[in-house]
Structure 1
Amino acid sequence: MNGPVPGGRQLFTADDVRAAVAAVVESGALPAIVQAGHPVLRAQAVPFTGQLPETQLARLIDIMRDTMHAAPGVGLAAPQIGIPLQLAVLEDLYDVPEENAAARERRPLEFLAILNPRCTPVGTETASHYEGCLSMSGWQAVVDRAATIDLAYDDDHGVPAVRRLTGWQARIAQHETDHLSGTLYLDRAHTRSVTSDEEYAAHWARPDIAEARQVLHF
């Protein structure tokens, strides 16, 4: 990991959140996923404090889930659809080869909507794997992440909860929580590992990163 990663500044207000949510909910179509360079991806998202009616929040979560599925992806943060709100959705029910699942500790993750999430590492063990981002289409890089975390969040009814996550589930939660502080995975990546999707498929699509680490020298 390349040392501490600075977060974004608070650039948006509760009114900005309400306006962005209204635009998405009322559009009648799935929103576009914004790409790196959009200001919302580099800002500190606004904590959820009841700015939205319960029915509108529920509709937003449904839209985010559908957008994540359509991408397809295993997580989506509200800033990725232009909404500066501390909200993310997670779900990983894809079939993956057994060897890959074992190497990455990738187990099914049922759908989860999280508000105001915070990730706290448990222990000092880390895991290093390639990851990508729906807001940086076409690229992947190796990121070191805590192997086990406690994920503290509010659910969609405002009830506080804590879940201990390990392996790939912990990686997904950390990646999406980073989005809410204006951090992209590339900020944490080994930059010598950066690869296009095409080159990843041709050379580095392995259960682990040992060969990539040796050849690319990171």
Structure 2
Amino acid sequence: MHLKPRIKVCQTMLRHSRSFGTSPPASQSFRKWYQQLWTTERTNLPPYNHFTQIGDPVLRQQAALVPKEHMDSPEIGAIVEQMVKVLRKFDCVGIAAPQIGVSLRIIAMEFKGRIRKELPEAVYQARQMSELPLTVFINPVLTVTNYSKLKHPEGCMSVRGYSAEVERFEGVKLTGLDQLGNQSELALSGWNARIAQHEMDHLEGKLYTDHMDRSTFACTCWEAVTRNPDAWRYPSTSS
């Protein structure tokens, strides 16, 4: 889950569109250009250093429990370390293991205090935001503690460039194991409860687009597209 200001997302998307979304050179056929976008040999294997994107089958699988006998293994430690690395690399507030290509029930969350300075105070208060130190849960279980629902915009680094309003429960409790294998329990409310629900959805093969208010689904970079439409051109077989 992410909270990047719109301008940062737009700048990032524009940079990527210039690299990968431009039309093929006149001297190159569409087929050759298109084939350059993938390789038959897997040169990049999970755990990834980036977020998997909607369409990747791993995002639609129900993640497996981490076996007890492997809880303190170097492999699980490396996965958690990579999750935190990607979380911070992309300046996000939550990540689930399937988002780096690993279908295991692990989530990490972190809501830094500096975010308050990046948002209007009215927005910060309306969304009931509060600081959350780095928190890792292995094999988490979520229990709803407050069934009142709050509706706010959500984005996801696995659905880059879009957002929509989603209803979430106001309060939840997470139980599970921390990265050291110790039993852990955490009560969350407001925005942090939303982060937890969003990440738990990933473990069930769900995305926020599955239960969003479809009328609010929007491209977060529509203004950038309007200002510079040529930067967003790419070959397409659909209109």
TM-score, normalised with respect to structure 2: 0.69
The reply to whether residue 192 of structure 1 matches residue 195 of structure 2 is no
The reply to whether residue 32 of structure 1 matches residue 50 of structure 2 is yes
- In structure 2, the gaps of 5 or more residues are 1-44, 225-239
Mapping of 1:104-143 within 5 angstroms? 104-143=127-166
Change (3 A) 1:102 1:195: same
For residue 43 of structure 1, what is the aligned residue in structure 2?
61
Q: What amino acid is aligned across from residue 100 of structure 1 in structure 2? A: V
The reply to whether residue 56 of structure 1 matches residue 75 of structure 2 is yes
Equivalents in 2 of 1:184, 1:200: separation in Å? 25
1:182-202 per-position Cα deviation (integer Å, ceiling 9, x unaligned): 01011111111101113599x
| Percent of aligned pairs sharing the same letter | 33
CA drift of 1:60 comes to: 2.1
For residue 98 of structure 1, what is the aligned residue in structure 2?
121
Change (3 A) 1:100 1:43: same
1:104-130 per-position Cα deviation (integer Å, ceiling 9, x unaligned): 010011001111112211132111000
**Contact map agreement 2:71 2:181 (CA 8 A) in 1:** no
For residue 16 of structure 1, what is the aligned residue in structure 2?
none
Within the candidate set 79, 99, 102, 1:83 is matched to: 102
Equivalents in 1 of 2:59, 2:183: separation in Å? 25
Equivalents in 2 of 1:32, 1:101: separation in Å? 28
1:44-87 per-position Cα deviation (integer Å, ceiling 9, x unaligned): 10101133653332232122111111112111111011100001
Give the match's secondary structure for 1:152: strand
Equivalents in 2 of 1:189, 1:200: separation in Å? 22
**Contact map agreement 1:140 1:200 (CA 8 A) in 2:** no
Equivalents in 1 of 2:57, 2:182: separation in Å? 30
Change (3 A) 1:200 1:163: farther
**Contact map agreement 2:72 2:180 (CA 8 A) in 1:** no
How many residues align structurally?
176
Equivalents in 1 of 2:188, 2:222: separation in Å? 31
C-alpha RMSD over aligned residues: 2.0
Equivalents in 2 of 1:127, 1:65: separation in Å? 28
CA drift of 1:181 comes to: 0.6
Q: Answer with 192-201 or 65-74: which moved more.
A: 192-201
Equivalents in 2 of 1:61, 1:139: separation in Å? 27
Q: Answer with 182-191 or 151-160: which moved more.
A: 151-160
Give the match's secondary structure for 1:37: coil
> Which of the two has higher C-alpha Rg?
2
Equivalents in 2 of 1:141, 1:82: separation in Å? 24
Equivalents in 1 of 2:86, 2:147: separation in Å? 34
Q: What amino acid is aligned across from residue 132 of structure 2 in structure 1? A: L
